[in-house]
């Protein structure tokens, strides 16, 4: 590892994929990214092919079926890779993770990077089916918005891990299209995750069933309460509340 403040991506088996689509599901607003990514891992029967390592991460392991896993893992199924975290991203590691992932992705020459997340809306209770807004980093990603008639996030402020990833992808000209569903800010939101998966189905021409996700929505909400609370605490330190602010600058 380069230094104790760097993040290293470890490939358990060499990852050589053509026309790579890289999905990112981190704990964020409404845990939308984590819930949708977990559903994709299960639906596609994805396998762990790598993980992230850094001294910036807390000393945490995850046990599944008595087997030890890194909390920050990379899954694969065919040409789809998925980066999933089961713990909130430590604020001090956000920029380092983003830099490491985007540098690694640049070498892999991905077709598309898709961060999956939520956008906080105060009236979420009144919304039956959340809309999904998009943020694109270059022309390739922008064309997808037009092709699939998606909605652009026109104005506003983003904070947290996805803000760093979008900035770094812009710098490195990596095609990246963030999918952000209207979501409860501090309650786990499987409904918003379902909206995100519907858009993934369109873009990646897949047919992931959201039936099981909606059927288990209450169980997901109960069992992810503590992760939601910890994530909300971490996001607060990253200035996430700024997302409610009105944009102050004219372009």
Partner 1 sequence: MPEKKKDFFDQVMDYISEFERRFDETFYSIIRPLRVSRPSWDPNRCCLVPLVEVQENPEELIVTADLPYVDKENIDIKATETSLDIDAKMRNAVRFERWGTVQREVSFNCYHKSIKLPSRVDPEKAKAEFRGGILSISLPKKVSKQKIKIT
Q: Which residues contribute to the site for partner 1 (CB under 8 A)?
A: 91-92, 125-126, 184, 186-188, 191, 217-219, 221-223, 225-226, 228-229, 233, 236-237
Answer for the pair 161, 89: CB distance below 8 angstroms, yes or no: yes
Answer for the pair 82, 46: CB distance below 8 angstroms, yes or no: yes
User: Which two three-digit tokens encode residue 151?
Assistant: 């909605």
User: Which two three-digit tokens encode residue 246?
Assistant: 């009105």
Strand, coil or helix: 51: strand
Residue 186: CB minimum distance to partner 1, A: 6
Residue 162: CB minimum distance to partner 1, A: 19
Smaller CB separation from partner 1, 140 or 186:
186
CA-wise closest residue to 89 among 31, 36, 147: 31
Angle formed by the axes of helices 161-171 and 94-108, to 10°? 40
Residue 227: CB minimum distance to partner 1, A: 11
Measured between alpha carbons, how far is 85 from 102 in angstroms, rounded to an integer?
Answer: 16
Smaller CB separation from partner 1, 104 or 184:
184
Answer for the pair 118, 28: CB distance below 8 angstroms, yes or no: yes
Residue 129: CB minimum distance to partner 1, A: 12
Smaller CB separation from partner 1, 30 or 115:
30
Residue 171: CB minimum distance to partner 1, A: 12
Measured between alpha carbons, how far is 174 from 137 in angstroms, rounded to an integer?
Answer: 7
Smaller CB separation from partner 1, 70 or 221:
221
Residue 141: CB minimum distance to partner 1, A: 25
Measured between alpha carbons, how far is 9 from 233 in angstroms, rounded to an integer?
Answer: 26
Smaller CB separation from partner 1, 21 or 231:
231
Smaller CB separation from partner 1, 137 or 231:
231
Q: How many Cβ atoms sit within 10 Å of the Cβ of residue 33?
A: 31
């Amino acid at each position: 590892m380069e230094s104790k403040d760097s993040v290293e991506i470890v490939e358990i088996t060499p990852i050589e994929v053509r026309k790579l689509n890289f999905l990112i599901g981190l704990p964020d607003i409404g845990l939308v990214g984590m819930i949708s990514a977990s559903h994709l891992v299960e639906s596609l029967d994805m396998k762990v092919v790598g993980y992230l390592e850094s001294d910036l991460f807390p000393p945490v392991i995850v046990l599944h079926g008595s087997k030890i896993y890194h909390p920050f893992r990379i899954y694969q199924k065919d040409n789809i890779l998925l980066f999933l975290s089961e713990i909130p991203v430590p604020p001090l590691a956000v920029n380092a993770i983003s830099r490491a992932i985007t540098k690694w992705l640049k070498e892999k020459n991905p077709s598309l990077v898709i961060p999956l997340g939520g956008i906080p809306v105060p009236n979420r209770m009144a919304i039956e089916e959340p809309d999904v807004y998009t943020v694109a980093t270059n022309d390739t990603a922008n064309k997808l918005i037009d092709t699939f008639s998606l909605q652009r996030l026109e104005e506003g402020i983003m904070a947290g891990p996805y803000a760093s990833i979008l900035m770094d992808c812009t710098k490195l000209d990596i095609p990246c299209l963030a999918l952000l569903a209207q979501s409860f800010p501090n309650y786990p939101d499987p409904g918003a995750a379902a909206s995100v998966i519907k858009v993934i189905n369109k873009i990646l021409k897949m047919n992931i069933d959201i039936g099981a996700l909606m059927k288990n929505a209450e169980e997901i909400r109960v069992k992810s309460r503590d992760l939601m609370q910890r994530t909300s605490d971490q996001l607060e330190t990253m200035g996430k509340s700024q997302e409610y602010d009105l944009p102050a600058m004219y372009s």
